[in-house]
């Protein structure tokens, strides 16, 4: 197994991409720590992990703060002895139909704090350990919103910031054997698309999915497993000569 015995932190592991990614690493032999504010969702992920076997733990806290990010790193070190892989996945979805030029300052600050600053804080908390142990891999979850007009300005700015941060830090750490890459999901089958959190009926969801699929060259929306597979590849030794890259997972949408 590609991650046998390796220690992995996945932020935002209580649902969506984070949950699928954490379970993927577990299946491939890793010891996994999920960090999230959503304790209920985190417990559900742990229950799913128990069916797979292996070792997964949950730490509840705000990794968009220095204390929260440091606590997650410290917990992984205490329990696993090291950190080999960090997946910066935690984030919040953009509000729909927002006038970006007139968004409240507090909503702008919240979006950048959770979606971008958390990447910096969590990376900073594990990089010294990775360097000390001879290397590691960081995978940041960005979005096609960084390069395609499909969202609000604060979300696009945060995701664009992730791409810039990835490239810069990858260059700084390359000689220290710490690789840093990003994954940019396209139109994916998540609660944001299906509308389940907005109370959509099954018929509304069906129409929404069909309309979305028609916008994609592959004529289907992506799944959380598609993103988990991309993250696992970039974190693995299969990508040992890959750093500073953005892997777009969108069924050909951006380039169409």
Could you list the active site residues?
Answer: 155
Report yes or no: 83 and 136 within 8 Å, Cβ to Cβ. yes
């Amino acid at each position: 197994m590609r991650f046998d015995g390796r220690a992995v932190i996945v932020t935002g592991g209580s649902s969506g991409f984070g949950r699928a990614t954490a379970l993927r690493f577990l299946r491939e032999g890793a010891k996994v720590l999920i960090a999230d504010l959503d304790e209920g969702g985190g417990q559900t992920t742990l229950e799913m992990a128990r069916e797979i076997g292996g070792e997964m733990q949950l730490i509840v806290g705000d990794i968009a703060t220095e204390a929260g990010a440091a606590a997650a790193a410290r917990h992984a070190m205490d329990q696993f002895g090291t950190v080999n892989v960090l997946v910066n996945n935690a984030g919040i979805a953009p509000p729909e139909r927002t006038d970006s030029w007139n968004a409240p300052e507090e909503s702008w600050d919240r979006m950048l704090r959770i979606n971008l600053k958390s990447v910096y804080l969590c990376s900073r908390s594990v990089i010294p350990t990775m360097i000390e142990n001879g290397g590691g891999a960081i995978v940041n979850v960005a979005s096609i919103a960084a390069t395609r007009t499909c969202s609000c300005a604060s979300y696009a700015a945060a995701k664009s910031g992730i791409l810039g941060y990835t490239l810069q830090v990858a260059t700084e750490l390359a000689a220290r054997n710490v690789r840093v890459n990003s994954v940019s999901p396209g139109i994916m089958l998540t609660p944001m698309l299906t509308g389940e959190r907005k109370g959509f009926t099954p018929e509304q969801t069906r129409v929404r999915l069909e309309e979305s699929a028609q916008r994609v060259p592959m004529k289907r929306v992506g799944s959380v497993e598609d993103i988990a597979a991309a993250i696992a590849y970039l974190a693995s030794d299969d990508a040992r000569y890959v750093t500073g890259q953005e892997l777009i997972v969108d069924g050909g949408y951006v380039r169409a």
